[in-house]
Structure 1
Amino acid sequence: MISESTDAADSPGDTVSAVAAPQRVRLSADLDVDICVVGAGLAGLTVALEAARTGASVVVLEARHVGWNASGHHLGTVMPGYALPLSDLIARVGFDDACELWSLSRQGADYVRAHAAEHIIPGLALSEGALEVSNVDAGERLVSHLQMLAEDFATEVEGWQVDRVRDTLRTDRYFHAVHYPRAFQIEGRKYVHGLAKLARNAGARIFEETPVVGLDPFGIRKRIVTPQARLRASHVVLAGNVHLGGALRRLSDTLVPVWRHAAVTAPLGARLAEAVAFQGSVIDTDGIDHFRIVDGDRLMWASPETTWEARSDRHAAAICRRIRAIFPQLGTVEIAEVFSGAIGQTVHGMPQIGRLQPGLWVASGFGRQGLNTSATAGQLIASGIFEGDDRWRLFSPFELVWAGGPTGRAAGYAIGIATRARSAAAGALARYRERARIRARAREVRLAEASRQAGTRPLRSMTRHAPPSAPASDRDG
């Protein structure tokens, strides 16, 4: 992970240096290719890699440099699913299609795992497991959710009861949890640069500092204009984000930009192990906190969000307060590094994957689940172009929807504030009820003990003060 002010060096969250990128090359001569990919993030590079493996001529155009935005600034958690909750996904597309979409998300996670192997992209420091913790007492909902994931969606999961959660995460803020043992973490910046290297090795050409300033998507051969050269391509893949620019405003206007601010603490020593005994990622069910241990004794923590670009170091104090609120035993932690990246959040909460018109494709709007879903998008689009695979149509119900411009940003921020407030209130109420139950049980125990003692005292008293037996003559008379 890197800070806002850093370009090539990794933050303390990355235990080894970033994958060395080749010297950046701008496009300066006209080209005629099979596929032009706009955007050198996770999705665009996956498309480029898969397309180049077929032998097609592929060019990637990137306005800045590989992985400069969200694709290179995240906590590296890879797990199945989408930003849209599973229950909402079923309600939107039906049970069968929801199962198919979930299966694609699992395949996307498997794709990342396969390429994260040490002999393919080395040095990613892969660690296993993710824990989705509940801020409230989940109860029966947890059981039904686990059954659905395991039986209907073929996902390996394990339910954790409150005692186990709190033995692992020593805080009263969390209740039940869902453990995903097949989820994993990688160093995200190294992964995106590793994808770029694989794509180049397969024959794709990546041109950085080359923005698209014009696009004619009609006709058999699409025309793309850059500051110094023009391209023609049979297929154009729009794999950018909220920074696509005026030439691609149709797509960028469908996304609410959300900057997720995160930090890496200074070494915390043994006190961190006393508070957090889980080496994978921890994500709360309200989407507010996301953290994991890095470098053995540091916390990488993402929490505040804004719908406008802001310096991440201004949010360091807020992250410190959040860590202290969840784990007060850690005290006030020192922040060693801060970073952020803008994700594109769609109105409906699902990624935009598929064909807009013949030869024009889109892979965007991945929200917080970018690693697995961008891999899914890359595979689906490449197989759609070269194999006629039409599984991308499963995403057709989630079409391009205008995100509301500045008003949408303000609404998105307000919704985020309201969500946090509801979560805080629900969590406080859940903890209050838990304490009330504990007090009630303790009172019941005291009353039961008092009743037991009260019930035995009269018997002892009667035995102690009973008059002597009457003489036999009196009894006979």
Structure 2
Amino acid sequence: MVPELAAGAGTLKRGTMTAAADVPGRGASWYDATAVPGRERGPLTFDLDVDVCVVGAGLAGLTVARELARRGWSVAVLESRRVAWNASGRNCGFVLPGFAESMARITERVGLQQARAMWAVADAGRAYVRDTIRETAMPGVDPVDGWLRIAKFAEEPELAENAAWLRDQFGAEADIWPAEQVRESLRSPLYFNAVHFPTACHIHPLNYALGLAAAAERAGARIFEATPALGLDPAGIRKRVVTPSARVRAAKIVLAGNVHLGPLQPRLGATLIPVTTFVATTAPIGERLREAITYPGAVSDTEGADNHYRVVGDRLLWAGGMRAWNADPRRFARRLRADIRRVYPQLGAVEIEYVWSGTLGRTVHQMPQIGELLPGMWVASGFGGHGLNTTAMAGLLIARAIAENDGTSRLFQPYELVWAGGAAGRAVIQIGYAGARLRKRANALAARWLRRRDRRHKPAASPGPPIAPSDAAELAAEMPTPVLVASAPGGGGVHRPRGGDARRGRAAKASPEAVASPSMPPTDHSERAPGGNRALDRPR
């Protein structure tokens, strides 16, 4: 597998920040600086015969390996670099319910009954993470409960309807917080109402991955680092995987290398868009941070890449920005610092000590790739920035399918492999993100103007008589029109090629809203998701 990550690097010296591209291994991030001690694993130097060969030692591959080893299967894991060197060990650490795609769109595509089953297996993945941390007494993972999805710049009344729909149809634990409650915990003038998911949590993802690798080895799996898979032959009962120094023969192969599988499986790699996102941690802030943020859980104040954050000790861990091509994370430090100041001006000019990036794989339909590609060859990939619960889910489903002939993984058959459009697909994603960010800024300015105007025209005493129609028209004429960045015809979302289009490998069309598209309610009113807002966003 060819690494594609521009890795950030940091230093513990206060007030300085450095970054380096393509650092061997995991690179230097705040997660690396706070990682629990772990052992180095050598490369595979001898031929090996096992029941299952897993390609990729990220969260999905490690979960498959652990679960199959616990069931008595011999497992070898091949990793081109180190355990969790990329997105698995570089993400925000949010363990959330659901998927990157909204449940409204999933329901529209597969029907309510199957959507409920998919929600249940995703939630089982969330529970698996918590249970594994507890059962194995993982050090340094430190789960903290709760996730707030916040309305930024203006009230979103439809959040309450979406939360009620998730509770009624899927049994989700989702509560509405009014703006007053939100601002008691997050003292930002930009925040309004929110949906609270109390069973979500945030963790140290690198320490979780290292703990998962240790648990897999205790169960009997063998992990080989610095061992890229250079080729594979899936034919026959015993499949063969070629590495630089040895060969592996296995009855089953699981491809869990995400966007880095391209050189090994080009057609599979072409179904993913590599999306790089950026994360920073500040220098210690101290009392100012404790006064500004009293909510201990994870926070998302967007439907796209900006911004997702959490408090870690007396620092802020803050994520924002995305690129469909590699980029030096140092270029984003100033922008992330500006985002923090915009949301929490009382913090002043905070210092960034670490900034890094991670590259995830996004599918056209925003759902993970889980299933059997050929007899005995499985894939677990495309988690799209919503991976801590869905990687656990995928690992469980594939292990049960291989060891127990369980058919639950077939729930994901409606989400076929679709060509992601190559360079054109990347460009669409990048333009969509830029357009969404510009539109949010424009709408924020318009909302700010309206609030200031309302304050200027607010009567000092009684509200007085209702405004006459003629006066209302005059006021409307004075009001500036909010500047909106137009979406593509047909609304947001990604066109999903079906039938012949998918089989012929045509490029999937995507709207400029592809990164942050609103939910599309199902046509059946009985299964309809209220409102037009995505209740479950994608943290990166």
TM-score, scaled relative to structure 2: 0.79
- The one-letter code of the counterpart of 2:418 is V
In 2, Cα distance between equivalents of 1:386 and 1:439: 69
2:119 matches 1:102: yes
Instruction: Tell me: CA distance 1:26–1:304, structure 2 relative to 1, closer, same or farther (3 Å).
Output: same
User: Any idea what SS the aligned residue of 2:259 has?
Assistant: coil
Q: CA–CA distance in 2 between the matches of 1:136 and 1:394?
A: 38
Change (3 A) 1:299 1:328: same
Matched, 1:290 2:288: no
Matched residue, 2:295: 278
Structure 2 residue identity aligned to 1:443: P
Cα deviation per residue 1:345-392 (whole Å; 9 max; x = unaligned)?
111111111111211111000011110000000000000111111111
C-alpha contact 1:46 1:195 (8 A) present in aligned 2: yes
- 1:49 matched to 2:66? The reply is yes
Residue 227 of structure 1 is matched in structure 2 by 244
SS in 2 for 1:89: helix
The 1:447/1:118 distance shift into structure 2, 3 A limit, reads same
Q: Contact 2:176 / 2:195 at 8 angstroms: preserved in 1?
A: yes
Q: Deviations over 1:110-155 (max 9, x none)?
A: 0000112275312212211110111254544122111112121111
Q: Please state if 1:67 is matched with 2:84.
A: yes
Quote the residue 1:443 is aligned against: 459
Change over 3 Å in CA distance of 1:134–1:343 after alignment to 2:
same
Does residue 372 (structure 1) correspond to residue 389 (structure 2)? The answer is yes
**Long gaps (5+) in structure 1:** 450-477
- State the one-letter code of the partner of 1:163: E
- Change beyond 3 A, Cα 1:118–1:426: farther
Aligned residue for 2:357, secondary structure, equals strand
The corresponding residue for 2:378 is: 361
C-alpha change, 1:179 and 1:66, in structure 2 (3 Å) is: same
Counterparts of 2:363 and 2:461 in 1: how far apart (Å)? 53
Distance in 2, matches of 1:52 and 1:361, equals: 17
- Give a deviation string over 1:254-283, Cα, whole Å, max 9, x none: 111111111000111111122222111101
Q: Does 1:23 align with 2:68?
A: no
Whichever residue aligns with residue 151 of structure 1, its letter is: D
CA pair 157-262 structure 1, distance change in 2 beyond 3 A: same
**Which amino acid is the alignment partner of residue 291 of structure 1?**
Y
| Amino acid corresponding to residue 180 of structure 1 in structure 2 | F
1:12/1:220 CA distance change after superposition, 3 Å: closer
Please tell me the residue identity of whatever aligns with 2:187. R
Return 5+ residue gaps in structure 2 as ranges.
1-6, 10-18, 466-540
- Which AA in structure 2 matches 1:179? H
Q: CA separation in 1, counterparts of 2:440 and 2:384?
A: 20
Q: Distance in 1 between matches of 2:338 and 2:441?
A: 14
For the residue of structure 1 that corresponds to 2:191, the secondary structure is coil
Q: 1:20 to 1:269 in 2, by over 3 A?
A: closer
2:273 match: 256
The 1:439/1:248 distance shift into structure 2, 3 A limit, reads: same
Alpha carbons 1:8, 1:18 under 8 Å: kept: no
CA contact (8 A) 1:135 1:423 kept: no
Residue 208 of structure 1 corresponds to 225
Distance 2:460 2:414 in 1: 55
Output the CA distance in 1 between the equivalents of 2:182 and 2:125.
28
2:88 pairs with 1:80: no
| Alpha-carbon contact 2:310-2:318 (below 8 Å) kept | yes
Identity of aligned residues (%): 48
2:369 is matched with which residue: 352, 362, 386?
Answer: 352
Residue 89 in structure 1 maps to residue 106 in structure 2: yes
Give the aligned length. 446
Q: 1:162 aligns with which of 179, 184, 191?
A: 179
Are 2:51 and 1:34 aligned?
yes
What is the identity, as a one-letter code, of the residue corresponding to 1:242?
V
Matches within 5 A, 1:332-351: 332-351=349-368
Residue 434 of structure 2 is aligned to residue 428 of structure 1: no
1:89-238 equivalences in 2 (<5 Å): 89-117=106-134, 119-135=136-152, 137-238=154-255
| Other-structure match for 1:472 | none
Contact 1:282 1:292 in 2 (8 A): yes
In the alignment, which residue of structure 2 is the partner of 1:396? 413
Determine the C-alpha separation between the residues in 1 that align with 2:218 and 2:425.
41
1:438 is displaced (CA, Å) by: 5.0
Distance, in Å, in 1 between the alignment partners of 2:121 and 2:384 is 16
Contact 1:171 1:327 (8 Å CA) reproduced: yes
Amino acid at match of 1:289: N
Q: Counterpart in 2 of 1:407?
A: 424
Question: 2-side partners of 1:341 and 1:195: how far apart?
Answer: 20
In structure 2, do the counterparts of structure 1 residues 224 and 123 end up closer, same or farther at CA, with 3 Å as the change threshold? same
Question: CA 1:219/1:274 → structure 2, altered by over 3 Å: closer, same or farther?
Answer: same
In the aligned structure 1, how far is the partner of 2:115 from the partner of 2:452? 39
TM-superposed deviation, 1:429: 3.4
Contact 1:168 1:276 in 2 (8 A): yes
Pair 8,261 (structure 1): closer, same or farther in 2 beyond 3 Å: closer
CA contact (8 A) 1:258 1:344 kept: yes
Distance 1:428 1:340 in 2: 30
Pick the structure with greater CA Rg: 1
CA deviation after TM superposition for structure 1 residue 444, in Å: 7.2
Higher helix share: 1
Residues 180, 435 of structure 1: alpha-carbon distance in 2 compared, 3 angstrom cutoff: farther
Letter in 1 for 2:431: A
Alignment root-mean-square deviation, CA: 2.1
- After superposition, the Cα gap between the structure-2 partners of 1:12 and 1:255, relative to the gap in structure 1 and judged at 3 Å, is closer
Query: Which amino acid is the alignment partner of residue 290 of structure 1?
Result: H
- Partner secondary structure for residue 199 of structure 1: helix
Contact 1:134 / 1:284 at 8 angstroms: preserved in 2? yes
